[in-house]
């Protein structure tokens, strides 16, 4: 068990981890229990109240310069910009460009904002507060809006790329689902093979329906996904999204190469962005090795980092991790909340938590001082 000053700062977390098994149980299991405990003790309303108290009392500012935690806090971004100008999934926006810059400077002021090259050293370190910024899916705004900010702050980030989306720009399933629901010509999709209950589409606030339809996709078998998208196209009466709209959505290889030369890190995110646990091991290997080969070809160096598509705990398996290791990846990042404490030895399931456009500043501030509570999704 780690013996960092965190225990004096957060007795609840200490109590939650006192019985952490040292062997036998996988850490996914123990962390799930911790997440449940934190959720029970601090439901989101209470969490926000606590964050407000910490922030307005000045405690966050004090804790920022104190060793209230140690380890690696990995933050996940998708898109930078204005969600209201987007026809696709607005939930993917993490910050405006202005706020992103404020956030980068905030991270630099209270922790060691690391680069991909620092990962191994940081993961072996027993002390220190480290933050890594990551971006998923290679959106064009990562190049146009995030990259200039990172350069001006003399900072770096790690970008996970699903290579086929760069090779032939097209919509990913989540973008297409969002587009179909946002352009639906019906107010409700009746219960059908895919939905047990009608899917209500609120014209003014379609995000809820988009979320439900995206989550439904997560649990589909690989051979069901196309039929599901076609059924949504029909049920929404929106049709499939025109491919021409995808042209400006992604970065291209020239942009990626420019960013790489300027010190940004790049990692694999498969070729086609499937949910890996839903496809057989042979296809998982193709997806993993395929993106590694393409990135190697374009950047001249084999990537060591990998981001699991979608990244929830049940979306990759021990077999996936084994394949990653065999294909030369050393660090893999999940996306179900939490942060990497120094005693956590698994480098193929490094936790990440999301930064969201609508996230109150007090929550982000508190995450930087007590991630034990505020980095839980
Ligand atoms: Zn992704």
Residue pLDDT, tens place only, 203-219: 888 888 999 999 999 88
Flag whether pLDDT at 7 surpasses 60. Answer: no
pTM (whole model) above 0.85: no
Say if CB 141 and CB 248 are below 8 A apart: no
Closest CA to 336 of 306, 360, 307: 307
222 alpha carbon to ligand 1 midpoint, in Å? Answer: 16
Ligand 1 centroid vs 170 CA: distance in angstroms?
Answer: 14
Res. 14: pLDDT tops 80: no
Q: Is residue 149 within 8 Å of residue 105, measured between CB atoms?
A: no
* Average pLDDT of the segment spanning 327-332: 98
CATH number of 6-168+250-374: 3.20.20.370
In tens, the pLDDT along 341-363 reads: 998 889 999 999 999 998 999 99
If pLDDT is split at 50, 70 and 90, which confidence band does 39 have?
low
Distance of CA 249 to the CA centre of its chain: 18
What pLDDT does residue 106 have?
Answer: 95
Distances from the Cα of 151 to the Cαs of 141, 263, 330, 334, 341, in angstroms?
14, 9, 26, 26, 29
pLDDT single digits (tens) 136-166: 999 999 999 999 999 999 999 999 999 999 9
Which residues sit opposite 267 in a β-bridge?
A: 160
Give the mean pLDDT of 72-94. Answer: 90
Question: By percentage, how much of the chain surpasses pLDDT 90?
Answer: 65
Q: How far is the CA of 108 from the centre of ligand 1 (A)?
A: 26
Residue extent(s) of CATH 3.20.20.370 domains in the chain: 6-168+250-374
Higher-confidence residue of 247 and 112: namely 112
Query: CB within 5 A of ion ligand 1: which residues?
Result: 136-137, 309
Distance 249 CA to ligand 1 centre (A): 14
């Amino acid at each position: 068990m780690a013996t960092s000053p965190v225990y004096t700062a957060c007795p609840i977390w200490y109590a939650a981890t006192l019985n952490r098994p040292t062997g036998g149980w996988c850490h996914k299991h123990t962390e799930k229990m911790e997440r449940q405990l934190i959720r029970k003790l601090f439901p989101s309303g209470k969490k926000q109240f606590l964050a407000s108290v910490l922030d307005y009392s000045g405690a966050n500012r004090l804790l920022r310069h104190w060793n209230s935690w140690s380890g690696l806090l990995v933050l996940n971004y998708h898109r930078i910009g204005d969600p209201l100008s987007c026809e696709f999934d607005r939930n993917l926006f993490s910050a405006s460009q202005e706020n992103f810059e404020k956030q980068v400077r905030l991270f630099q002021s209270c922790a060691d904002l690391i680069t991909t090259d620092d990962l191994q050293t940081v993961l072996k370190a027993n002390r220190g507060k480290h933050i890594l910024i990551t971006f998923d899916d290679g959106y064009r705004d990562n190049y146009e809006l995030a990259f200039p900010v990172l350069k001006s702050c003399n900072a770096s980030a790690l970008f996970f790329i699903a290579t086929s989306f760069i090779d032939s720009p097209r919509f990913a399933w989540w973008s297409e689902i969002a587009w179909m629901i946002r352009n639906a010509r019906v107010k409700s999709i009746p219960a059908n093979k895919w939905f047990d209950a009608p899917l209500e589409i609120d014209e003014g606030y379609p995000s809820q329906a988009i979320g439900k339809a995206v989550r439904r996709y997560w649990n589909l078998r690989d051979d069901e996904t196309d039929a599901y998208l076609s059924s949504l196209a029909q049920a929404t009466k929106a049709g499939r999204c025109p491919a021409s709209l995808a042209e400006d959505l992604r970065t291209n290889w020239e942009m990626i190469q420019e960013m790489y030369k300027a010190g940004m890190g790049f990692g694999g995110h498969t070729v086609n962005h499937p949910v890996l646990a839903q496809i057989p091991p042979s296809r998982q290997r193709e997806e993993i090795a395929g993106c590694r080969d393409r990135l190697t070809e374009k950047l001249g160096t084999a990537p060591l980092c990998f981001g699991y598509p979608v990244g929830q705990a049940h979306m990759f398996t021990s077999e996936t991790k084994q394949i990653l290791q065999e294909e030369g990846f050393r660090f893999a990042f999940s996306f179900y909340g939490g942060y990497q404490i120094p005693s956590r030895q698994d480098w193929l399931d490094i936790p990440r938590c999301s930064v969201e456009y609508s996230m109150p500043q007090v929550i982000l501030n508190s995450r930087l001082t007590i991630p034990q509570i505020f980095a839980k999704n």
